[in-house]
Amino acid sequence: MFLSFKKQPIAGIDISDYSIEFLLLGKNKEILEYSRLELEKGIVENGKIFNKEALIEKLKKILKRKNVKVIASLPESKTFIHLFELDKNLKPEELEKAVYEQAQKIIPLSPMESYWDFYISDSSHQNRQKVLYAGTFKELVDEYLEVFSMAGIEPVVFDLESASLGRALIPVRDYFSKLRQKEGLNESSLIIDMGVRTSNISIFNHDGILSLSITIPTGGNDFTKAIAKKEIIDQIKETVKNYEEQFGENINKVILTGGSSLLPKLDEFFSVNLDKKVFIGDPLRNINSGRPLAKNMPTAIFANVVGLALRGIGKYEEGINLLRQIKPKKNKNISPKKIIIIAAVIIFLFLLFISYRLIFKSGDVNNTELIIPAQEEASNHPISEEVIEKEKQIEIKNTPTGWLNVRQGPGTSYPQITKVYPGESYPLLEEKGDWCKIKISDKVEGWVISQYVIKN
């Protein structure tokens, strides 16, 4: 089978408490595929998965292709974001160490229970640079990786929801905006994402780079009450003031998104109370809707997934990726170069063996006595039960996570007891549906999904 060098499309997928949105863009930012599926209550709550098998089935249903690579986002309420100011002359390895040390002083997550990443958000100053840090729960990431894996999905990036919204809602910079920057008229943008449980306030600098993000525990009906009391206005004003003092850039534009952004005259309310230009976000402004969304489909609900899909057609390696720290156990796959060398050696030995056999058959008949003892010895030693048992083996294949969970029973609802890794082999004890029971040690037995095993 020949390798294909055609770049595989990377889609965006957004999982919330109530729905899943899927979007695939072409290289010209045109919509190739999109779909939306509602989630019943209790499958996902506040970003945490409570019913893995139900979510797996929903993901399989929403996808129209197999082995999909995706960029997903984690709930902003489950991530810790902080801006550090550090020495600009630090080398890359020194910068990473400095970010790590600073984060341990502020972020309430230990290194053992978190995944984290960072990027430079502002390096325009002579001696200092601003670095945006993001961290999240390792357990949360591992749960999503397991569900994606079982649904045939390969995530390549776990993005920040705030960064994704900015990618979709902030207009692409054109000639006139560059001219404004040249004249010193720098301008930042603020996005208010009003969700069901929480609201997020994110600020992007004049280059459209995420510089600050905070979460307010106000959403849905509570958001309407907070507006009436003008509580949220005070919080936004305080955030804007701190940003403008720290970055030296004015925020003159506010973009509203999320379900509550559709409330009548909400943009007018914010515009008057914040004394700024306020717009309802249009997530389709930076893409070409080659396949337009259905008329009854509110575009606001696609804002996050549009931003994720846009990253998928660009340089998706750039920016925060909460999967970057995951280093799977080195698999035992052989490189193509080694495969060629091994194949050549095998062919050479095979030809040598054939040549020897031909010479042997045409040579001295007495030479046959040399192989008789070996044949007799083999016949006098029947295959033992232990050898037969070893024939019933499975080998762990490569997985997107770099490991495979072993559970107490044949299903994801059973507790996890340990992990096994690609290339390892174990005795196969039993099969039930899509699950295999294996023997880990003399005292430990468990079940693994058969999708990632090879039966020997």
Residue 41 · residue 132 · CB < 8 Å: no
Q: What pLDDT was estimated at residue 1?
A: 34
Give every strand in the sheet of 199-204, ordered side by side. 210-216, 199-204, 187-194, 250-257, 277-280
Return the number of other C-beta atoms located less than 10 Å from residue 168's C-beta. 27
Q: What pLDDT was estimated at residue 176?
A: 44
Q: In the CATH hierarchy, which fold is given to the domain comprising 10-312?
A: Nucleotidyltransferase; domain 5 (3.30.420)
pLDDT digits (tens, 9 = 90+) for 380-421: 445 444 444 446 899 988 887 778 889 999 988 888 888 888
Q: What pLDDT was estimated at residue 21?
A: 94
Q: Does the global pTM surpass 0.75?
A: no
pLDDT digits (tens, 9 = 90+) for 331-346: 445 556 677 888 888 8
Residue 447 · residue 436 · CB < 8 Å: yes
Q: What pLDDT was estimated at residue 295?
A: 61
Q: What pLDDT was estimated at residue 67?
A: 76
- State which amino acid sits at residue 109: L
Burial class (CB in 10 A: 0-12, 13-18, 19+), 309: buried
Q: What is the mean pLDDT of each run of 10 residues along the chain (456 residues)?
A: 53 93 91 91 92 95 83 90 91 93 86 89 84 93 94 94 93 54 67 84 88 81 68 88 88 88 86 92 81 67 93 89 73 61 86 75 47 42 46 83 86 85 90 90 88 86
Annotated domain spans of the chain = 10-312, 336-381, 384-456
- Domain 384-456 falls under CATH 1.10.3720.10: no
Q: What pLDDT was estimated at residue 273?
A: 92
> Rounded to the nearest 5°, which phi and psi values hold at 119?
-150, 160
Contacts with 425 (C-beta within 8 Å, 6 or more apart), sequence order? 393, 394, 395, 396, 456
What does the alpha-carbon distance between residue 200 and residue 219 come to, in Å, rounded to a whole number? 9
What does the alpha-carbon distance between residue 229 and residue 226 come to, in Å, rounded to a whole number? 5
- State which amino acid sits at residue 40: E
Record the tokens describing residue 275, joined without a space: 């004394």
